């Protein structure tokens, strides 16, 4: 009887080793090496021989790059403008997309609604669920009113059976919910392991490229928020989307962190209700709908996500503390930026914040990661510290340097036009960003070079 061979595989990067090691040489993580059975090599090297050996016969020759046909493939609209925006204009045939998010955030709802929209256009859609039965999927479709003769559903986790269903249906759009539940019969590992996820993802990648099927894989996430499985999984796919949102809020955000066919700065905003996900056409008006009037520490900041300007409310609370070490907490913005801005206010403005707790929150559960929100954070902290509210018609944006200067930011024209559209009367922005464009009429523009000038303009 042949001896069973084992290997140790890193659960983060997929690095293989014949012996166990505490620290992975590939990614440097500790205690990620897990023992797995070593699978013997198949006779046909390279590409899998699924679908009757069509992959093995598709051998290509190298050609000069100038002779390659660069005609852009027509995109397929999903019927959801917010999803099309994040994808870069729609689905690209033959693309492989990975969607991750917390449990219960609405990934399956989003994909089922988009599948129905594609099926309504006459495209064949195959929705394969490894977590729900066909009856459970039908109940979800009834609630979402997503029923179509072109939408096929299947509950299966065996990769060979999925191949048979693909041969039978021949879909234009494929959904795998989720990739951690699918297993390859020839891989001697449990579903969800590094070997299984890597082999199954590679299999679906070859299918999507050869057949021109747009494929979406749903991925589980870890408690840290990253997609479970090896990092190789995100490198193999064409597009990685994260579906985010606070569980206690009705708003959800779809964000692209990798996209070979579009921008990675775009976001799509949805609202979850009883009938499923509804698109939010004007997020600025939505985020500012519950803004309090005359409250100190409240500032409206103009941020840009991809090509879309978004106005959100940024709130600050500064309160005295009896402990020797004050507390700092940031929700929706980077904690390190908050500490930096407080240090600038203490050093350059002479504000005694060493005995004050400081809390920053972005209303609506939005996450802002661009430096243009620095000036709004500083003004909100000063407003709460002095207990002096700002004008309700003011909008603020700008980056703060360590010397207390206000640095220029990009796309100021879009930010100002969005503020004017929502009825704001005054904008406090960097003086260096006022070159090269003409401000619109009906709104006052105040350019500042330092934090001191910005505070003087905000509290005059």
Q: How far apart are the first and last CA of the chain?
A: 87
- Sequence-distant (≥ 6) Cβ neighbours of residue 458 within 8 angstroms: 379, 382, 383, 390, 391, 394, 396, 428
- pLDDT value of position 42: 44
- pLDDT value of position 3: 63
> Residue 6 and residue 322: Cα distance in Å, rounded?
58
Class at the top of the CATH hierarchy for domain 76-281 = alpha beta
Q: Give CATH for domain 285-458.
A: 3.30.230.10
- Whether 368 shows a pLDDT value over 70: the answer reads yes
- Name the pLDDT band for 39 (thresholds 50, 70, 90): low
- Whether 51 shows a pLDDT value over 60: the answer reads no
- Whether 295 shows a pLDDT value over 80: the answer reads yes
- pLDDT value of position 437: 86
- pLDDT value of position 58: 52
- The pLDDT mean for the chain works out to 87
* 296: number of Cβ within 10 Å: 19
- pLDDT value of position 43: 42
93 contacts 213 by C-beta, under 8 angstroms: yes
- Name the pLDDT band for 192 (thresholds 50, 70, 90): confident
> Residue 287 and residue 269: Cα distance in Å, rounded?
11
Q: At residue 112, what are phi and psi to the nearest 5 degrees?
A: -70, -40
Retrieve residue 73's tokens.
């493939």
Strands (E), 167-222: 173-177, 214-219
* 440: number of Cβ within 10 Å: 13
> Residue 229 and residue 140: Cα distance in Å, rounded?
28
> Residue 443 and residue 151: Cα distance in Å, rounded?
51
Q: What is the pTM of this model?
A: 0.76
166 versus 55: which is more confidently predicted?
166
Strands 214-219 and 173-177: parallel
Domain segments of the chain as ranges:
6-37, 76-281, 285-458
Find the mean pLDDT for residues 69-75. Answer: 76
Sign of CA dihedral 210, 211, 214, 218: negative
């Amino acid at each position: 009887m042949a001896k069973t061979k084992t290997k140790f595989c890193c659960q983060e990067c997929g690095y293989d080793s014949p012996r166990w090691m505490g620290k992975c040489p590939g990614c440097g993580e500790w205690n990620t090496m897990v023992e797995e059975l070593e699978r013997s090599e198949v006779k046909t090297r390279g590409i899998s021989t699924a679908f009757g050996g069509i992959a093995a016969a598709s051998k290509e020759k190298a050609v000069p790059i100038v002779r390659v046909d660069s005609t852009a493939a027509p995109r397929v609209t999903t019927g959801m403008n917010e999803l099309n925006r994040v994808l870069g204009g729609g689905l690209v045939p033959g693309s492989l997309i990975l969607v991750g998010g917390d449990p219960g955030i609405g990934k399956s709802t989003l994909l089922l609604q988009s599948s129905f929209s594609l099926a309504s256009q006459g495209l064949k859609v195959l929705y394969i669920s490894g977590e729900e039965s066909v009856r459970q999927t039908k109940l979800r479709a009834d609630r979402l009113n997503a029923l179509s003769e072109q939408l096929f559903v299947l509950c299966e986790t065996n990769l060979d059976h999925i191949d048979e269903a693909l041969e039978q249906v021949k879909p234009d759009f494929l959904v795998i919910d989720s990739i951690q539940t699918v297993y390859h019969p020839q891989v001697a590992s449990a579903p969800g392991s590094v070997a299984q996820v890597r082999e199954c993802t590679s299999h679906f990648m070859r299918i999507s490229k050869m057949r021109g099927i747009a494929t979406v894989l749903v991925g589980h996430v870890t408690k840290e928020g990253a997609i479970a499985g090896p990092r190789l999984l995100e490198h193999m796919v064409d597009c990685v989307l994260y579906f985010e949102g606070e569980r206690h809020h009705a708003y959800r955000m779809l964000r692209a962190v990798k996209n070979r066919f579009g921008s990675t700065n775009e976001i799509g905003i949805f609202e979850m209700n009883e009938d499923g996900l509804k698109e939010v056409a004007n997020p600025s008006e939505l985020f500012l709908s519950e803004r309090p009037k005359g409250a100190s520490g409240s500032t409206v900041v103009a941020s840009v996500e991809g090509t879309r300007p978004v106005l959100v409310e940024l709130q600050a609370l500064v309160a005295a503390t009896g402990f020797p070490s004050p507390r700092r907490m940031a929700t929706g913005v980077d904690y390190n930026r908050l500490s930096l801005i407080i240090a600038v206010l203490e050093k350059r403005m002479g504000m005694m914040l060493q005995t004050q707790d400081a809390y920053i929150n972005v209303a609506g559960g939005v996450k802002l990661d661009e430096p243009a929100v620095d000036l709004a954070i500083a003004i909100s902290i000063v407003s709460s510290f002095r207990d002096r509210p700002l004008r309700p018609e003011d909008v603020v944006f700008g980056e703060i340097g360590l010397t207390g200067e206000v640095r220029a930011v990009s796309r100021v024209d879009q930010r100002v036009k969005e503020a004017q559209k929502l009825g704001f009367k005054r904008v406090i922005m960097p003086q260096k960003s006022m070159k090269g464009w003409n401000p619109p009429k009906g709104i006052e523009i105040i350019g500042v070079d330092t934090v001191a000038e910005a505070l003087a303009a905000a509290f005059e």
